[in-house]
Amino acid sequence: DFTEMMRALGYPRLISMENFHTPNFMLVSEVLLWLVKRYEPQTDIPPDVETEQDRVFFIKAVAQFMATKAHIKLNTKKLYQADGYAVKELLKVTSVLYGATNTKGVERAAVSEEDNSKFKFDLGSKIADLKAARQLASEITSKGASLYDLLGKEVELREARTESIARPLEINEAEKMLKVAIDCVLEQVQKTKDMLNNVALDEASLEAKIEKRKLELERSQKRLQTLQSVRPAFMDEYEKIEEQLQKQYSSYLEKFRNLTYMEQLLDDHRRTEQEMFEEAANTLQLMQNRLKEEEQHLFKRGNNDDSDVEIQEDEGSSSEVEDKQIMKQRTTTETLLRG
């Protein structure tokens, strides 16, 4: 419907709903500006939409114009989205223009592109005429009601009117009333003159203040230029101190890097020592377990068959050798445990 209405209104380029599947703010702004110009050609809305602030200002200006001129409330958030929801808001304006052109009976079959770009239906003037007609109708009703009330009092007022007409006109009273009216007018004229004189004085004082401020501004600008051109006396010392500080900072960085490297090496060394200590402890534990097993085995062999004396005498020498070996193993284990 939107594309058909825009084509019927004479939009110069083709529009399809695929253009609004993704946000397309440039197309929405172009359509809005064209619709506003179509509604009232004399409007002045800035077409700049490059920055975010310009876009927000453009949407607000269009929404305010449609609300005040056409009494159409637009959702600014949906217009700023520039997608399918914005088409629903654009459809509000296009439906009004499409209905107005249909009621007006404007023929578009033989109209050229240049005639389409021009606004043929001045809806703004029609709205002004409608407002004026409404105001006149309200005034007519109020005047008719007041006239009806006055006509109801005509019977009472007729006698007073005839009496006042029959009464002779007194020139002295008329002169007094005229003098009073003249005095009131003169007082008002004097008040306006006094106000004009005060305005002139205020204008002169303001001009004097402006001139004074201009002179102060010029002096301050000259002083600023002189201060910028003069080199301070402490700048040489400042530059030297800055160079020294740069050197100190570079040496600090080097020492900090060396310190971190040495700390890393120390951590690695401690880690390797800890691993070696754990390995030594494990090997010592294994040796202790092995010696315990051998002692138990020898103890079992020593308790076998004590009645066989001859075998013991023959093997006395071998048992002494074994006892010596056991004593050596015990001494080695004790030394390892002490270590």
What's the pLDDT tens digit per position in 163-211? 877 777 677 877 888 899 999 999 999 999 888 888 888 888 899 999 9
- The pLDDT, as a whole number, for residue 114 is 46
Average pLDDT over residues 87-91: 80
In this prediction, residue 324 has a pLDDT band, given cuts at 50, 70 and 90, of low
Q: Which of 35-39, 87-91, 220-224, 306-310 has the lowest mean pLDDT?
A: 306-310
Give 236-251 pLDDT, tens digit per residue: 888 899 999 999 999 9
Q: Two tokens at 305?
A: 């068959």
Average pLDDT over residues 229-241: 83
- The pLDDT, as a whole number, for residue 322 is 53
User: Amino acid identity of 196?
Assistant: L
CA distance linking residue 116 with residue 110, whole number of Å: 10
Three-state SS for 298?
helix
CA geometry: angle at 266 spanning 264 and 271, to 5°? 95
Count of C-beta atoms within a 10 Å radius of residue 338: 6
- The pLDDT, as a whole number, for residue 310 is 47
In this prediction, residue 265 has a pLDDT band, given cuts at 50, 70 and 90, of very high
CA distance linking residue 302 with residue 181, whole number of Å: 155
**Higher-confidence position of 90 and 329:** 90
CA distance linking residue 191 with residue 240, whole number of Å: 74
Question: Side-chain half-sphere of 25: how many Cα atoms within 13 Å?
Answer: 17
- The pLDDT, as a whole number, for residue 38 is 80
**Chain-centroid distance, C-alpha 327:** 90
Mean pLDDT estimate for the chain: 79
| pTM for this entry | 0.32
**Taking 70 as the threshold, does the pLDDT of residue 155 lie above it?**
yes
CA distance linking residue 215 with residue 221, whole number of Å: 10
Consecutive H or E run containing 81? helix 76-81
In this prediction, residue 268 has a pLDDT band, given cuts at 50, 70 and 90, of very high
The residue ranges of DSSP E strands in the chain, in sequence order, are none
Q: Two tokens at 48?
A: 């700049």
CA distance linking residue 142 with residue 135, whole number of Å: 11
- Cα distances from 298 to residues 87, 292, 301, 331, in angstroms, run 102, 10, 5, 17
Average pLDDT over residues 252-280: 94
| N-to-C CA span, the chain | 99
CA distance linking residue 83 with residue 18, whole number of Å: 10
CA distance linking residue 32 with residue 13, whole number of Å: 14
CA distance linking residue 251 with residue 247, whole number of Å: 6
Expressed in percent and rounded to 5, the helix, strand and coil fractions of the chain are 80, 0, 20
Q: Which of 82-91, 190-199, 310-319 has the lowest mean pLDDT?
A: 310-319
Identify the CATH assignment for 1-102 out of 1.10.1060, 3.40.50, 1.25.40, 1.10.418. 1.10.418
82 φψ region: left (φ > 0), alpha (ψ -120 to 50), beta (else): left
**Taking 80 as the threshold, does the pLDDT of residue 109 lie above it?**
no
Three-state SS for 250?
helix
Give 120-130 pLDDT, tens digit per residue: 445 556 777 88
Question: Where do we find the tokens 């009073």?
Answer: 180
**Taking 90 as the threshold, does the pLDDT of residue 261 lie above it?**
yes
- The pLDDT, as a whole number, for residue 250 is 94
